Amino acid sequence: MGMTMTEKILARGAGRDTVRPGDLVLAKVDFAMGHDLTIPPAGKIMREQMGAEKIWDPERVAVTQDHFQPAKDAASATLGRLTREFSQQMGIKWYFEVGQGGICHTVLPENGLVLPGELVVGADSHSCTYGALNNFATGIGSTDLACVLALGELWFRVPETLKFVYHHRLKEWVEAKDLILYVIGQIGVDGARSKAMEHTGEALKHIDMEARLTMTNMAIEAGAKNGIMEFDEVTREYLDGRAKRPYTPVTSDPDAEYEKVFEFDAEKVELGVARPMSPDNYAPLSEVAGTRLDQVFIGSCTNSRITDLRRAAAVLENHKVAPGVRLIITPSSHQVAIQAEREGLIRTFLAAGAAWTTATCGACLGGHMGVLGEGEVCLSTTNRNFPGRMGHPKAQVYLSNPAVAAASAVTGVITHPSEVLDKMPAGLA
């Protein structure tokens, strides 16, 4: 019996020829990540409780200052300082200071730090993002991270794999975000609980790497352990000149065993949103169009890479944000911000009346720079809209793609982008 990509990576990490779903393995980790909320507890546990003085491999760890940084208050400044000091003391090679990095899940792929065939862990639930680059990547806790930092190994339960096959291709205006929101709407927020989501099919061939990262990013919103995609030309092109280490892609065997295979016709997927207050509360855009908004947020590890910002700018060009609405745009990394500046996107945003912020997780987790008050309604390009995620538990959050968000900021209500822009320019569609 063959193995899936996920099983092969875990087997290699565990030094075994084969593994089966349900096996508990101790596996070597290829790369690990932590940030300003998870490094301080992990560092403390590693040094004070586990008694480790140094980390297993300073070249295979990345640390970002992204969640509450630039420090939103004195307590966050302390967490930032502990994160900085730990990184310096441990000699961590891939430390990204405020103003030089950004959100972990954009920073690691864009710097070629997470590669095909690798076993990657991150002390953040959206670490599953990296799987679009043909690796096994999963979110872990702080005690887990302390263990990895000390030993370079961690325990894993080999997950069952669910296969998602996408036939045909997405229609005009419909983005990878709409597809993944639709899928989560179909299977539910626990539909892939503790399992691997393997995405494949014709539609993916036409989805670029940044949009693929949007899809694997949201695996956790279906409860999955990881999201993973095949290695192809799109992967190779993205990694050329970027990859920091040699890598070996992995493929699923033709006779690999899947717990279930889901087939979707990508062509039939409509532009959509997740309604409050759960990411699986999918609705076609037509059902929620006209909903009045207080805030629109374009940001996060899900949908604020350069291609996302290009689409948002295309919609906002020569338009103004509607009175009574505020539009906040947070690039997901410093490199994305530099590129947005080069291309003149920031000028478009500022002219439209948007607030442009530094790269941070910021409003997505109700941290800072766009936290919602009681009863406020927000359309957000982020990943999660459980009660209280972006601030007050009685705030209402809708999730969408960036073009819908931009169009809705122009009209003040949830709006199809075609009402603001005739056609998405070639190359951005």
Partner 1 sequence: MTLPKTIRGRAWKFGDNIDTDQIIPAKYAIYSLDEKELGKHAMEGVPGRETWASQVGQGDILVGGSNFGCGSSREIAPVAIRGAGISLVIADSFARIFFRNAINMGYPILQSPEASEAIEEGDELEVDLEQGIIRNFSKSNEYHSEAFPPFMTELLRMGGLVPWVRKQLEERRRQKPAASG
Name the residues that contact partner 1, by CB under 8 A.
22, 24, 37-38, 40-41, 44-45, 49-52, 67-68, 73, 75-76, 79, 122-125, 127, 139-144, 146-147, 150-151, 155, 157, 189-190, 193-194, 220, 223, 225, 278, 365-367, 384, 386-389, 393-394
In angstroms, what is the minimal distance from the CB of 387 to partner 1? 6
In angstroms, what is the minimal distance from the CB of 128 to partner 1? 10
In angstroms, what is the minimal distance from the CB of 123 to partner 1? 6
Q: Which two three-digit tokens encode residue 87?
A: 């990184």
CB-nearer residue toward partner 1: 42 or 359: 42
Phi/psi region, residue 367 (left: phi>0; alpha: psi -120 to 50; beta: rest), is alpha
Tell me the backbone φ, ψ of residue 362, rounded to 5 degrees: 50, -115
What are 90's strand-pairing partners?
none
CB-nearer residue toward partner 1: 150 or 405: 150
CB-nearer residue toward partner 1: 100 or 125: 125
Q: Show the CA angle centred on residue 95, arms to residues 56 and 72, nearest 5°.
A: 125
CB-nearer residue toward partner 1: 75 or 350: 75
In angstroms, what is the minimal distance from the CB of 171 to partner 1? 31
Q: Show the CA angle centred on residue 12, arms to residues 189 and 195, nearest 5°.
A: 10
In angstroms, what is the minimal distance from the CB of 317 to partner 1? 34
In angstroms, what is the minimal distance from the CB of 278 to partner 1? 7
In angstroms, what is the minimal distance from the CB of 400 to partner 1? 20
Q: Do the beta carbons of residue 192 and residue 218 sit within 8 Å?
A: no
CB-nearer residue toward partner 1: 9 or 147: 147
CB-nearer residue toward partner 1: 139 or 201: 139
CB-nearer residue toward partner 1: 155 or 338: 155
Closest by CA to 31, choosing from 160, 117, 106, is 117
In angstroms, what is the minimal distance from the CB of 72 to partner 1? 8
Rounded to whole angstroms, how far apart are CA atoms 240 and 283?
38
CB-nearer residue toward partner 1: 76 or 415: 76
